[in-house]
Amino acid sequence: MFALKRVLSAVPQSTSLCVSHFSACHCLKTSRKSSPYSSVDSERYSSLVKSVMSSRVSSQTPETLQAEDDHIYGPVVKAQTPTRPEVREPKTLHPFLNCEETVDTEEPESGLPARISLNRGQGRSFVPSVTRILQQTLSPEQIFYLERWKRRMIAELGEEGFKEHSQNLFRQGKLLHSALEDILTSGAAWKDRDPSETPEYPPEVRGYLESISHVLEDVSAVRAIESTVQHGTLNYLGIVDCVARYRGVLCVIDWKTSDKPKPFLSNTYDNPVQVAAYAGALNNDGNYKYQVENGLIVVAYKDGSPAHAHQLSSEVMLEYWKTWLLRLEEFTEKRASHASSTLPENR
């Protein structure tokens, strides 16, 4: 007890010691220091702060964060909802198939393939061709890319070099079609041919023939080769490369050559429209007693790499048939407009 009194006497008066059941915990209480702000009129200071925070620094100080962003970065331009391109439909949806003819694709083929030559003297002198119609109805985008390619080729080859290059491509195409005509009218299937008896074809087309050799193995029952087709109602004509079965399906076949790989149908540009136009004309031409619903575009390569074969089902052909009707309408309107503008004025 005496010791406890000594401890208590040693503790300064400004502090206190709390003892409970001989368990000592000291709670030191120090004297509070006076704050330098204690003498400030808090109510008046609070009013001053509120007035500063609520007032604008200058006339250019934005009132809100949105106004500040607009001041720094400009007003927000809201993106417009993208509009889908308008789907055009032909004014008159002429039938792709001839209702009077039956689609009898199982009819056995016999005899030589048809080859109807183009004779412009038999009322065909003013009938436009499929190729001409497509060339004169190119879209601005197609014209742009075509001109850009032409300028690039001229820059690389020169004017004369480009002209020679174009002539060579045309000549190689004719040689390839001639070789294919010989092969497909020989009567023997390509896969059953005897290599020792295969005639020597010009060097310019050997690579192309090697390229399409795997396609020729699936071609059979040839019905037409380089044959003219004409649509009497729509007044246009064309020359189909081939009508035959490919893997058992009767198709209008179009042979194409290319320096660049074309693995997708979209790489063939207007070729599907051309095939649909040929098939539609054939289906409405009285010289052909059958109907064709499918198409095939074969892209051959000079280096002998495997050709790309793009099959067009009957559904796809119908879509390209609509595109062809639109192009044909555009051509007809342009020709009518040109004819009316060249007529002599009535005096």
Q: Indicate whether 37 belongs to any domain.
A: no
Range of 13-17, 67-71, 180-184, 224-228 with top mean pLDDT: 224-228
Q: Indicate whether 258 belongs to any domain.
A: yes
CATH of the domain at 285: 3.90.320
Percentage above 90 pLDDT, the chain: 50
Domain span including residue 294: 126-192+201-340
Active-site position among 50, 174, 192, 256: 256
User: In this model, does residue 80 exceed pLDDT 70?
Assistant: no
Which pTM does this prediction carry? 0.72
The number of domains in the chain is 1
User: In this model, does residue 137 exceed pLDDT 60?
Assistant: yes
Residues 145, 149, 154, 160, CA torsion sign: negative
Active site residue 256: yes
Mean pLDDT, rounded, for 244-265:
95
Active-site position among 241, 270, 285, 302: 241
Q: Indicate whether 42 belongs to any domain.
A: no
Q: Indicate whether 280 belongs to any domain.
A: yes
Question: With bands split at pLDDT 50, 70 and 90, how would you rate the model's confidence at 5?
Answer: very low
Question: With bands split at pLDDT 50, 70 and 90, how would you rate the model's confidence at 216?
Answer: very high
Q: Are the C-beta atoms of residues 264 and 272 closer than 8 Å to each other?
A: no
| Distance (Å, whole) CA 166 – CA 149 | 13
pLDDT in tens, 104-122: 545 555 678 999 998 766 6
**Phi/psi of residue 9, each to 5°?**
-70, -20
DSSP state of 298: E
Q: Indicate whether 83 belongs to any domain.
A: no
Does residue 294 or residue 157 have the better pLDDT? 294
User: In this model, does residue 233 exceed pLDDT 90?
Assistant: yes
Active-site position among 78, 254, 270, 289: 254
Q: Indicate whether 16 belongs to any domain.
A: no
Q: Indicate whether 25 belongs to any domain.
A: no
Q: Indicate whether 40 belongs to any domain.
A: no
